[in-house]
Amino acid sequence: MNEPAAPSLLGRLGGWFSPAASAEIAAAEDAALRSDRFRLEREGEWKRLDAIVTRIERGRLRSVSDEDLLALPALYRTAVSSLAVARETSLDAETLAWLEVLTRRAWFVVYGPRAGLGDWLLRFFGGGWSASVRALSSEILIALALMVCGTVAGWLLVASDPDWYYALIPGGMADARVPGASRAVLMGTLFGQQGQQGLAVFAAALFSNNAQVAILAFALGFAFGLPSAMLLIQNTATLGALLWLYHGQGLTLELVGWLSVHGTTELYAILLAGAAGLHIGRAMAFPGEAALLDAAAAAGRRAAQVMVGVVLMLIVAGLLEGFARQLIDNTAGRLIVGSFMLVFWTAYFFVWRGTGRES
């Protein structure tokens, strides 16, 4: 006949305490036994998952067998399930912490991004950015129309009442560029100021204003695109006011050349930012058959990729403004640089398709 199993230490100590205390001791012992069994039953799968993840993290994917690769998703889901159960049991804290780290590492291997920064940049510049821009073609046309209307409106406002000029042009940008300024004064603001601070202040104010407009035009798109449209009109009204001022002294072409060096890139960036904001607004106002949140999320991903490029364009515009325009002190040279940048961006976005795909 089999001898009865010897009672555990906790069981033997239970006889020295009251029945209630003994019950608590017995419950603690039972919980500890269940925790041990839980860990022992699954520890092999956890270690197998850890070994697979470790090899992949070290770049040794080829050393992982096909069987282990096929089992990887199931092992990850099992580990997550075990973690959920372990959090509700008395599994020791050290093992629980190790299991949490393991599941996080496994998530990146199973579901994390497959490409590094270099691959992402290759896809982005290789066609992903331009594909996202082309997907906003209708919004780009709307944004372009709004910018043209804003320019015309700014011109007409200051033509009807010059006091509008001071309302449209930020105070830090006005300096000598005010209604009534002579041709010589306005000519002096465009040429021969490479070493003077006034031009740098005006250029910095103009760039800062346009960068803020670009960011806000995108960020406010969630309000059905209406603030984005208003910002495009308001910002280009400033351009219309400047054109009116210089046109009055026969310096329209000179101003266009002065602005074009960086302006073709900067205004292009504002155009794309406004289109991105309008795209989000349109998706929210007219989601179609998709759920509102799904439509907004899809539009947001596409618009966000466009905005990454917009930031890069603003940086390029800043470099052109800080160097190229200072080095080129004639209208013809400025127009050549500005026209080249306009053709370059248009060709990149709408002619050259590249190899990348829209994210």
Q: Render pLDDT for 198-225 as a digit per residue (tens, 0 to 9).
A: 455 555 656 666 777 888 888 887 777 8
* Range of the structural domain that residue 71 is part of: 22-110
In a domain, 106, yes or no: yes
Round to whole Å and give the CA distance between 159 and 229. 23
Round to whole Å and give the CA distance between 239 and 216. 18
Among residues 137, 145, 151, the alpha carbon closest in space to that of 276 is found at 137
Q: Using the 8-state DSSP alphabet, how is residue 248 labeled?
A: T
- Which has the minimum average pLDDT: 8-22, 35-49, 171-185, 235-249? 8-22
Round to whole Å and give the CA distance between 63 and 56. 9
In a domain, 6, yes or no: no
In a domain, 70, yes or no: yes
Per-residue pLDDT for 264 more than 90? Answer: yes
Residue 34 half-sphere exposure, CB side, CA atoms within 13 Å?
Answer: 11
pLDDT tens, position by position, 81-106: 888 877 776 667 777 888 888 888 88
Average pLDDT, integer, range 217-234: 85
In a domain, 288, yes or no: yes
pLDDT tens, position by position, 117-131: 677 678 888 888 999
pLDDT computed for residue 6 by the predictor:
47
Decide which of 8 and 277 is more confident: 277
Single pTM value for the model: 0.65
Domain count, the chain: 2
Q: Which residues of 334-351 are buried (b: 16+ CB within 10 A; e: fewer)?
A: bbebbeebbeebeebbee
Average pLDDT, integer, range 346-353: 90
> Rounded to the nearest 10 degrees, how much is the dihedral formed by the CA atoms of 333, 334, 340, 345?
170
pLDDT computed for residue 17 by the predictor:
47
User: Do residue 200 and residue 312 come from a single domain?
Assistant: yes
User: Do residue 152 and residue 94 come from a single domain?
Assistant: no
User: Do residue 78 and residue 197 come from a single domain?
Assistant: no
- Identify the sign of the CA torsion 315, 129, 263, 148: negative
pLDDT band at 346 (very low <50, low <70, confident <90, very high): very high
Neighbours of 9 (CB within 10 A): 9
pLDDT computed for residue 22 by the predictor:
53
In a domain, 306, yes or no: yes
pLDDT computed for residue 34 by the predictor:
60
Averaged confidence pLDDT in the chain:
81
Neighbours of 332 (CB within 10 A): 9
pLDDT computed for residue 1 by the predictor:
44
Picking from 62, 78, 110, the residue at the C-terminal end of a domain is 110
* Cα 36 to chain centroid, rounded: 47
Round to whole Å and give the CA distance between 49 and 108. 13
User: Do residue 272 and residue 146 come from a single domain?
Assistant: yes
pLDDT computed for residue 99 by the predictor:
85
Average pLDDT, integer, range 169-179: 72
pLDDT computed for residue 23 by the predictor:
53
pLDDT tens, position by position, 21-44: 555 555 555 555 566 676 777 888
Q: Are 233 and 149 in contact (CB under 8 A)?
A: yes
In a domain, 150, yes or no: yes
Q: Which residues of 270-283 are buried (b: 16+ CB within 10 A; e: fewer)?
A: bbbbbbbbbbbbbb
Round to whole Å and give the CA distance between 271 and 281. 15
User: Do residue 83 and residue 190 come from a single domain?
Assistant: no
Q: Are 232 and 147 in contact (CB under 8 A)?
A: yes
Picking from 110, 129, 144, the residue at the C-terminal end of a domain is 110
In a domain, 1, yes or no: no
Per-residue pLDDT for 252 more than 90? Answer: yes
